[in-house]
Amino acid sequence: MIIDEFPFIVSKFPEVPSVFQDRWDSVLKNSRIMLVLTGSSVGMMEKHALSKRSPLFGRRTVLLSILQGLSVLAIALTVFAISRSLGHGENEARALTFTTLVVANLALIFTNRSWSRTIVHTLRSPNAALWWSALGTIAFLGLVLYVPFLKVFFRFSTLHAGDLAICLAAGAVSVGWFEALKAIGGRRGWALTGKRVRS
């Protein structure tokens, strides 16, 4: 669903962001509907849709997003530090860290499809664009890791199956805590948005 000139609507009906948030949290967030809000007034869009005071973008969202980013950063730095401490060269450590970052960011995309359902559940909802984006990212990663002139350009060394397994595991660990929170919340009847989950 695309709603154009959202700021104009809000100027006439100030309660719209709260109504949208309520409808989204109670009915639409686990559906296949995507809500797109557009507007020509950047200031109004920031105030009514992106502001931390806006009902559509709360503090809990910001806090969880920061924690997700920090967990990905911590995992990537850990992979780099362990790689260097094991005596791997800069190129191998760089390739391992970059691959971990790519895998972790793909994991973030998959985990953030829903803040109430786990990745396993969201994979049941078709999303062709998601799969094309993921495949494109994996193809690009393969190119920079295994095409000789790109590998030299990015100063990567070749990663072997064991190295890739480490990167996959590290990427999964970086979002594992978030998936665990969603699973616990689902069993207890609450979502990470702070709302009760309706059955």
Say whether pLDDT at 141 is over 80: yes
Q: Can you list the pairs that 155-159 forms with residues at least 24 positions away whose Cβ atoms lie under 8 Å?
A: 155/90, 155/91, 155/94, 156/91, 156/94, 156/95, 156/98, 157/89, 157/91, 157/92, 157/94, 157/95, 158/95, 159/92, 159/95, 159/96, 159/99
More confident of the two residues 95 and 184 = 95
All structural domains of the chain with their residue ranges: 2-50, 59-188
Indicate whether this model's pTM tops 0.85.
Answer: no
More confident of the two residues 3 and 173 = 173
The mean of the pLDDT values for the chain is: 83
Tell me the average pLDDT across 38-61. 67
